[in-house]
Structure 1
Amino acid sequence: MKFLSSLVVLLLLFSCQPQKNASDYEADLIIYGGTSAAITAAVQAKKMGKTVIIVSPDTHLGGLSSGGLGYTDTGNKSVIGGLAREFYHRVYMHYQTDSAWKWQKKDEYGNKGQGTPAMDGENRTMWIFEPHVAEQVFEGFSKENELEIHRNEWLDRESGVTKENGKITQIKTLSGKTYSGKVFIDATYEGDLLAAAGVSYHVGRESNATYGEKWNGVQVGVFQHKHYFNVNISPYVIADDPASGLLPEISTNPPGENGEGDKRLQAYNYRMALSRHPDNRVPFAKPENYDPARYELLARVYAAGRDDTFEKYDPIPNLKTDTNNHGPFSTDYIGKNYAYPEASYEERKDILQEHIDYQKGLMYYLANDPKVPAEVREEMAQWGLAKDEFTDNGNWPHQIYVREARRMIGAYVMTEHDVLGAKTVPEPVGMGSYSLDSHNAQRFVTAEGFVQNEGDIGVHPENPYSISYGTLVPKKEECTNLIVPVCVSSSHTAFGSIRMEPVFMILGQSAAAAASLAIDQGIPVQELSYADLKVVLDEEKQILTQEK
């Protein structure tokens, strides 16, 4: 009888406790996003004994690294350390196996990379790879570290962030799931979590006056790559007749004054994996809403004598490419992404579909239209979408190249002065080395009545540069437990260099190290001792500085 009485009391006590809903989750660290930065962050947190949940709107892991950008923009590879270097080492190990070479013999691969061989035997790293191989590596990280990943979970951007006393306590997704944590990381390309948390950010180009820069804002007449019209081409439906109206894909707005800020973004595109193996090639299909007239500008480029169509069909293993934008009219859908960062999910879907229709139509046009030179069409006949890539998405990349969306305005703002070596960067947590690289932001009509592009920048730093911890954290008064390794606090020009996938992996790892220490010490991420953080980053073989 006494036993039964005790049991009743225990049951009553248990029933009075608040019951955790099956859709409520809790961990030390909540990471929002499925990018390469999200994975390295999760692995590092697990190494430091923290519980972690990745809340990913994506189904596939790795973001653009597994989404078509296999011809890695590395810059100086000596400053890539930690888990980022481990990623490229695992890619190297994959391609040491005979089974990795299904469509091409290993000794027939040209081993062309950016600045160094694609396959660096001395350092046992490989910088050029097929999309599915990258995804396999990220999935391997996940399995080995027993990462908890909730896929296809989209942040409720309207009311899904709960804050108390300047801290995020919980986020909610559209499916109704909630995630409580001590520290949160926004590892998305869009910066959706930081925006929903009320953290300051910028979209577009600042004026040069904002940070005393040279290469920010509008840059009419600045041509540093090959992505401009190098001969006079009429923008009008009937050549030289303004009354006939403008051809498609040309803005009706004036470009603005050089150096002034605007809301324009550098163009997005999809980094297609193309194949030239006849058994692994899917011909370019004609889109339902295909209209050859929208590519008339390209026909005029060809008629003017340009023939450099295939210069950015960069080779990756197994007779495939990472195909990028090249020339004045190519896969970049210039001027069509301005609304993307702030757009709703449904609006973003429409913007993405417009990009897909444009780019698929372009490929069909190149392969079939009689206005395209015969030699180009003949070469295009050798290419198609790679049949063994993106197999659940019609062989089309699952990730668009969001070259720039929101950028946080945080505790420290990186500018071109930091990147170009004019300043000493405080509290470094990683390094970058790539050029200040911006794709075109607009296509307009010049005062002389010709078509021209604007926004393309390529200024190379003399040396690698450090990236400050303050670049990853918001201002303390805005949020004390959020770290942002992708949409970092930087100007448009500085972000043009920082925005490379190896750097995102580096910053993801450093962000998680900082988050773990802040959790251990129970302090805001802004109050973390840099000396404590540096000890961990040194142990993890992150490269923080380099003697000039």
Structure 2
Amino acid sequence: MTDVVVYGATSGGVCAAVAAARAGASVVLLEPGRHVGGMTSGGLGYTDVGDVRVVGGMAGDLRRAVADWYRVPEGHYAGPEPHVAEAIHRGWLEQAGVDVRFGAVLTAATTTPGDVIGPVVLGDGSQVAAAVFVDASYEGDLLAAAGVPYAVGREDRSLYGERYAGRQELVPGRHTMPPWISPFAGDQSGEEGGPVLPQLHDRPPAPVGSGDGGVMSYGYRVCLTQAADRVPFERRDGYDEAYWELGRRLFDRWRRDGVQVRAGQLLGLEQNLPNGKCDGNSIGPFSLSVLDGSAWAYPEADAAERERIRLHHLHHAQDFLYFLSHDDAVPVAVRAEMERWGYAADEFADTGHLPHQLYVREARRMLGEYVLTEHDLLPSPRPQHDVVAMGSYHVDIREVQRTWRWVAEHPRPVGMVVTEGYLSVPVRPYPVPYRALVPRFADCRNLLVPVCLSASHVAFASVRMEVQYQMLGHAAGLAAAESARTGRPVQSIDVPRLQDALSDAGQVLSL
């Protein structure tokens, strides 16, 4: 039997597997896809760090590895090219002797007497057993299969007494739609009603502050370039003209309001990666993020439904880039700007130059020994005796939905498109406790969860950055190795010993 099995070769999963192997454990890394690194190698090249002073351990090692690869000072680039990120992760795994198994889709996990996960069953019918498991997937599929309790989506403000929980106020900002855009397909006045446009979540918004199960929008981060060998944005078979009517109305609204818009305001078109490449981001009210509510179903969906949702997001990204560069309703200046860009020919060659990883900003969140909440971050950090890493990125809740509502106007109400959910709140560096990485003792005793950790929707919106997943994966890997070595439940390992090992490896546990 293997000492440690890690499910999900996200960057946090790679760090967990490598850390456990370096600590002397035998490790199997199960990855449903064909790539390692998750979003770090899957399009999110521009790395959101927060306070660089707390970036240590294997996250710090990755920053140094990137600097060494390009022969530049540490931090010179905000992140590596996707293929470089994957190469570094693969190198770590090979050097540590981790047994990586691709195409390993989890289908079942059983809990044996004593609340311990037994062998997990994979899609090919094979079984893999381990003393300790680490669920490093973005979806939390292993923890769910093992029967560990979890939450999905926004909670009500009353649950944890959080100021920023639940459905958000409809406030203006660069991520919201301008007023007077009709949501109705056959009625541009907004007065007559009727079927709504594509790209809208056609359901009444919940009351402000209430929990509605909504998750942050998903999307694809694209790697673009202005290089001569760039791959042009082409019309996909199945491209739907009607799907982009909302975009046409938005550009028309901006034109009538005298707003001069650039493509960079929607995509963040800047050469922010090495070798002149761009990590295309979701900026503004109309972007790579899909806001029609389809992501809400993803965490609990079966494999077939997840694939349908994934393709919906992938096609949105492809078609969005084509729409911006070719549709006559798009301003000439935007189309001209887009013509100078294309897909990077040397990135994602086996997936049509689009990333292999859907940006699942949040899915399940474990309900573990300790639930990290807004109160642990704001207004000032709450001390944690069992700190294993520090977070520092602001509470970054991306848009949850684009919907519509009736607005009282004379002589009759007018339907208007609204975007809801965006929130950004600065935080000071705060400790993440070990208890947030483990289930409750009565639920499971041999599982660690560094990605879908135990946190409220608000707190998770700060923890969810790749750098922090790397540090938490590092901690989970060392803890898993210690649990396997001693035979103790993960809740009962020697945490001070773990903290010493982390400190020795450069993890920052306090400022």
Shorter-chain TM-score: which interval? Answer: over 0.9
1:21 paired residue number = none
1:368 aligned onto 2:326: yes
Q: How far did residue 244 of structure 1 move?
A: 4.3
Report deviation, 1:422.
5.0
Which position in structure 1 is the counterpart of 2:387? Answer: 428
- Aligned partner (choices 169, 194, 200) of residue 220 of structure 1: 169
**Cα distance in structure 2, aligned partners of 1:486 and 1:125:** 27
The letter of the residue matching 1:143 is: E
Determine which of 103, 119, 135 is the counterpart of 2:86. Answer: 135
Listed as ranges, the matches of 1:28-67 within 5 Å are 28-67=3-42
The equivalent residue for 1:166 is 115
1:79 to 54, 59, 74: 54
For the residues of structure 1 that align with 2:381 and 2:4, how far apart are their CA atoms? 36
Aligned pairs for 1:450-465 (under 5 A) are: 450-461=416-427, 463-465=428-430
- In the TM superposition, residue 395 of structure 1 has moved relative to its aligned partner by 0.6
1:252 and 2:185 correspond: no
Within 1, Cα distance between the matches of 2:366 and 2:289? 25
Code of the residue aligned with 1:148 in structure 2: it is D
- 3-state secondary structure, aligned to 2:29: strand
CA contact (8 A) 2:382 2:431 kept: no
Structure 2 length as normaliser, TM-score?
A: 0.94
- So what's the TM-score if we normalise by structure 1? 0.87
d(CA) in 2 for partners of 1:535 and 1:250?
A: 50
Rounded to whole Å, the distance in 2 between the matches of 1:450 and 1:133 is 44
The alignment partner of 2:351 has SS state of coil
Equivalent residue, structure 1, for 2:433: 468
Larger radius of gyration: 1
Q: Please tell me whether the aligned partners of residues 309 and 327 of structure 1 are also in contact (alpha carbons under 8 angstroms).
A: no
Give the drift of 1:289.
1.6
Distance 2:498 2:508 in 1: 13
User: CA–CA distance in 1 between the matches of 2:416 and 2:47?
Assistant: 35
Partners of 1:251 and 1:144 in 2: CA distance: 47
Give SS of 1:361's match. Answer: helix
Structure 2 residue aligned with 1:11: none
- Higher relative contact order structure (alpha carbons within 8 Å, sequence separation ≥ 6): 2
Partners of 1:255 and 1:442 within 8 A in 2? no
Letter in 2 for 1:260: S
Of 290-299 and 431-440, more deviation after overlay is shown by 290-299
Aligned partner of 2:346 in structure 1 is 388
1:303-330 per-position Cα deviation (integer Å, ceiling 9, x unaligned): 2224143132242122211001111111
Name the structure 2 match of 1:441. Answer: 400
Q: Which residue pairs with 1:333 in the alignment?
A: 290
Instruction: Give the match's secondary structure for 1:267.
Output: coil
Distance (whole Å) between structure 2 residues aligned to residue 336 and residue 512 of structure 1: 33
Q: Which SS does the other structure have where 1:535 is aligned?
A: helix
Give, in angstroms, the shift of residue 177 of structure 1.
Answer: 1.7
- Following superposition, the deviation at residue 359 of structure 1 comes to 1.8
1:535 equivalent among 492, 500, 503:
500
Is 1:544 matched up with 2:509?
yes
RMSD over equivalenced CA pairs, Å: 1.5
Distance 1:472 1:437 in 2: 21
> Would you say how many aligned residue pairs link Structure 1 and Structure 2?
492
Q: Note the residue ranges of structure 2 that are not aligned, 5 or more in a row.
A: 408-414
Q: Secondary structure at the match of 1:298?
A: helix
> Which residue of the partner structure matches residue 452 of structure 2?
487
**Contact 1:88-1:127 within 8 A present in 2 as well:** no
Shift of 1:349: 0.7
Q: Percent identity?
A: 40
CA deviations over 1:362-388 (Å, ceiling 9, x no partner): 111111000000000011111111111
- 2 CA distance for matches of 1:319 and 1:231? 37
Counterpart secondary structure, 1:128 = coil
2:463 is the counterpart of 1:505: no
Deviations 1:13-69 (A, max 9, x none): xxxxxxxxxxxxx31011111111111111111121111111111211100000010
Contact in 2 for aligned 1:308/1:327 (Cα 8 Å): no
Native 8 Å contact 1:89 1:126 kept in 2 = no
Distance 1:419 1:309 in 2: 35
